[in-house]
Amino acid sequence: MPVARPEPQEPRVIAHLDLDCFYVQVEQRRNPALRGQPTAVVQYNDWKGGGLIAVSYEARKFGVKRSMRGDEAKNVCPGINLVQVPVSRDKADLNVYRNAGSEVVAILSTKGKCERASIDEVYLDLTDAAKEMLLESPPESSESIFEEATKSNILDLPSDAGDREENVKAWLCRADADYQDKLLACGTILVAQLRVKVLEETQFTCSAGIAHNKMLAKLVSGMHKPAQQTVVPSSSVQDFLASLPVKKMKQLGGKLGSSLQDDLGVETVGDLLGFTEEKLQEYYGVNTGTWLWKTARGISGEEVEDRLLPKSHGCGKTFPGPKALKNNSSVKSWLDKLCEELSERIQSDLSCNKRVAQTLTLQARASKENEGNSMKKFPSKSCPLRYGTGKIQEDAMKLFESGLHDFWGSRNAGWSITSLSVTASKIFDIPSGTNSILKYIKGRSSNASSAITDSSSTPELTPFVDNKLYMTPVYEERCEPSSIKEDCDDSNSAKQCSSIERKDVPKKLSKIQMFHNNHSGNWLYFEISFTKSTCPAREKKL
């Protein structure tokens, strides 16, 4: 359930940029002959011409939609160009699109805090850049306004074709505007400059929404596509939300939105204004009730995360209809391919970005034969991630077998897998100055299956990669007396122990740390002791 977050103390300028028909644009850059032509990118699947994952605006004019398959698209638009995504390991390879998206992110991140939300969309916090512009070169004092900015769509501003750009320019240069709108005007110019720069350097167009929070920026970024931007002044928020269907709001498209419709008769965001905060809290709890109350008023405290890289890496494949997997050998064959790709991606992330993933998660969709539509879902399973293709493949299969046992019990017969995915998550940056303690590590290999857990209970881990054990503390430091005795655990004993004439260890500090050795599969427990004169270390196996 959504939770309300504290509102910022000062006004912000947030933009959401969405690349237009991104997969198509990437293919048009690879093959310029496709520019201006009705084009669609199809997923790797030969059934009925493949599933459409992106449709150009030229093809949309003929009625081609993403819900169609290739053969149907050809019937609607005989001249359409169907481009298949690159294929590797008998499945779609999206690396060309991921890399193209990274080019755009590198440009956008030069102007403010940047959060890569997906392969083709980005949030930007331009507050500091807008403040700097307002201080050094405010729009009202500029002799000329960046031309692309005057093409912006500003909510509640007259948009007559004849003088539209003059109206926008006048709005951007208002000397009597309040501080919030002046910042927003600066943000509008900055986003226009960034969009032009993206076009010049990558050949990609993008659309944008500019507002005072992420929620509003996201809502309007797609209002005027392609290659346009939309601005939400503070005075326009209430009217804009009043008629917006409640299901269009982020986090209200599912059960919560349906509950609002069924239980409270709420169809639009404006309908929520008829309920007090207390009433909404009564129905949905304190946190969610407050979030709904604020959402109806366009208030959101969600911050833009400073994240240029993905939070996780995932590889998946669907097996519709007769292609469903029905035995362990077919599952293993596909898991091996998925894990091979996943291993390449996390190794690349390690080499290029010095980041390490900690958790491996397997998810699947399954059905039971002769039981109709079984309501029981295939459980998500997780375990510590061990680097190396073979280790990941081995662990993924064990996760599958564990999930299958929970799903089907000991019978283990009559099932079909229609979807498989493996994900590497809980990724952290390797701290600078990290040293290897490989020479201190001893122990026998253990069975990785013993570490299998539900995805919600995965412990904090420290991976072993590239012959280095990267160390991060799990527990806080503690002080304790040092002695040749093991039972000095109270103050009196501590005094007695400290009086023992042991000059080399008068008192020690211990830092408790837990590591997972991804090289051997061992769990290790370290109590690292240190004093001013010595640094002994003890190692215990869990």
Q: Please state, as a whole number, how many other Cβ atoms lie within 10 Å of the Cβ of residue 36.
A: 11
Q: Which of the following is catalytic: 121, 148, 341, 394? A: 121
- Report the b/e string of 427-443 with b at 16+ CB within 10 A: bbebeeeeeebeeebee
Answer yes or no: 27 catalytic: no
First to last CA, the chain: 37
d(C-alpha 361, C-alpha 382), whole Å = 4
d(C-alpha 446, C-alpha 444), whole Å = 6
Q: Please state, as a whole number, how many other Cβ atoms lie within 10 Å of the Cβ of residue 350.
A: 18
d(C-alpha 286, C-alpha 299), whole Å = 16
Rounding to the nearest 10 degrees, give the CA dihedral for residues 142, 144, 145, 148.
Answer: -160
Helix (H) or strand (E) holding 91: strand 91-92
d(C-alpha 92, C-alpha 98), whole Å = 12
* CB contact at 8 A, 202 and 159: no
- Report the b/e string of 14-34 with b at 16+ CB within 10 A: bbbbbbbbbbbbbbbeeeeeb
**Nearest alpha-carbon partner for 155 in 231, 88, 87:** 231
Can you give the C-alpha Rg of the chain in angstroms?
Answer: 29
DSSP 126: -
Q: Which residue is it, tokens 């898991």?
A: 335
> Which residues participate in catalysis according to the annotation?
121
